[in-house]
Amino acid sequence: MAEEQDIDMSDQQSTGKKRLFIVIGVVALVSLLSLGGAAFLLLSGDDETSAEDEVVEEVKLPALYYEMQPAFVVTYKVGMRQRYMQVYVTLMLRSPELLEALQVNHPALQSGLLQMFGSQDFNHLKTSEGKDDLRKLSLDVVNEVVANNIGEGTVEQVLFTNIVMQ
């Protein structure tokens, strides 16, 4: 009987060891599958995010202002009287490189704006619609000078910080 008890004890120990090996094997298998799945998701996600990155909109740079000095003074002949208009002009843009280029090309900008200001009708300029038209024309002239002399970039707005007409 003692031999039978020894055999039963060894069977229980070997069965316990087998269960331990099975549990360790299952845990290892589940861990490997989890790591493989995570790696697959991470590696396959790169292709989709790179496509999404291409669709991202451009971030607008902060506005930069270029104040043109001195103020523009234009004379008009209205009937028998001499009339004057003084305009303070500031340009709004977003590119620091364009700002530097505008400073270099200041004489061309000044010349183009003076010619355009001088060709306007003084009575039309006295109205708010006339001033708005003048601002739009100024933007066209500035961007034309930029295209001809600088080549790259655009000015977003022409701002009149002060207009005096008499």
- Gyration radius (Cα) of the chain, Å: 39
Tell me what pLDDT residue 137 has: 95
d(CA 123, CA 101): 35
Please name every residue paired with 65 in a beta bridge, in sequence order, or none if there are none. Answer: 92
Tell me what pLDDT residue 111 has: 93
81-93 vs 64-67, strand pairing mode: antiparallel
d(CA 135, CA 159): 7
Angle between helices 106-118 and 96-104 (to 10 degrees): 70
Q: Which pLDDT tens digits describe the chain residue by residue (166 residues)?
A: 555 555 555 566 667 778 877 878 777 777 777 777 777 777 775 555 555 556 556 678 899 999 999 999 999 998 899 999 999 999 999 999 999 999 999 999 999 999 999 999 999 999 999 999 999 999 999 999 999 988 888 899 999 999 999 9
From the list 150, 157, 62, 148, the residue with the least C-alpha distance to 103 is 150
Tokens of 126: 């006295």
pTM over 0.85: no
Instruction: Specify the DSSP element, H or E, that contains 19.
Output: helix 2-55
Tell me what pLDDT residue 152 has: 82
Tell me what pLDDT residue 53 has: 56
Encode 17-34: b = buried (16+ Cβ within 10 Å), e = exposed.
eeeeeeeeeeeeeeeeee
Question: What's the count of helices (H) and strands (E) in the chain, helices before strands?
Answer: 5, 4
